[in-house]
A = this chain, B = another copy of it.
Amino acid sequence: MGARSMDEAPAGWDEVATRLRARGLRWTAQRRTLVGVLAGTSGHVTGADLVERCRAVDPTTTPSTVYRTLDVLEDLGIVRHAHGADGREEFHVRPAADHGHLRCDRCLQVWEIGPDEARSLVAAIEAARGFTVDLSHLSISGRCAACREASPRG
């Protein structure tokens, strides 16, 4: 792994323990493992992925514990999750800004959609329905430019 380059942990993974305790929650070995894994993760991961990575650190890791802890961390705003095109859970770690995802059905590549890009949609729906869009849970499927050209109707 080499020296971790301290890619500006968004708000300090060390605070997590404190924030948990402040809520009357507990800082356990299992949570330490998961938070450690998350701190070394960037971008998007599936739940199963995280379970596996935790197992690499601590082979006794149990799925239910990981998923339950992820719930707690989501409450704290430390991770967010959405569902991929296949419905599988997909977590992203401490997004700097809220963002959604754009996924090509064909090449399976994923891009992020920033607030500005989604603004028109968000605004339209807010105006028409008074509905507040949760951008971080938004996942849009379709066909990217490259794949469209490659197979216009495949």
Contacts and interface: CB of A to CB of B under 8 A. Distances in A.
Interface of A: 83, 85-89, 102, 104-105, 111, 113, 117-118, 120-121, 123-125, 128-134, 137-145, 148
Given A129-B144, A130-B145, A133-B140, 17 more contacts: A83-B85, A83-B87, A87-B89, A111-B131, A113-B125, A117-B128, A118-B124, A120-B124, A125-B142, A130-B148, A131-B142, A133-B141, A134-B140, A134-B141, A137-B141, A137-B142, A138-B140
Contacts of A117: 124-125, 128
A83 B137 CA distance: 12
The secondary structure that dominates the A interface is mixed
Contacts of A88: 87
Give the number of times this chain occurs in the complex, counting copies. Answer: 2
A111 B129 CA distance: 10
Given A88-B87, A89-B87, A130 B144 contact: yes
A129 B105 contact: no
Contact of A131 (B125, B129, B131, B145): B145
Contact of A102 (B87, B111, B131, B145): B131
Contacts of A104: 131
A133 B104 CA distance: 9
Contact of A124 (B86, B105, B121, B138): B121
Task: Give the one of A125, A138, A144, A148 with max B CB within 10 A.
Answer: A125
Contacts of A86: 83
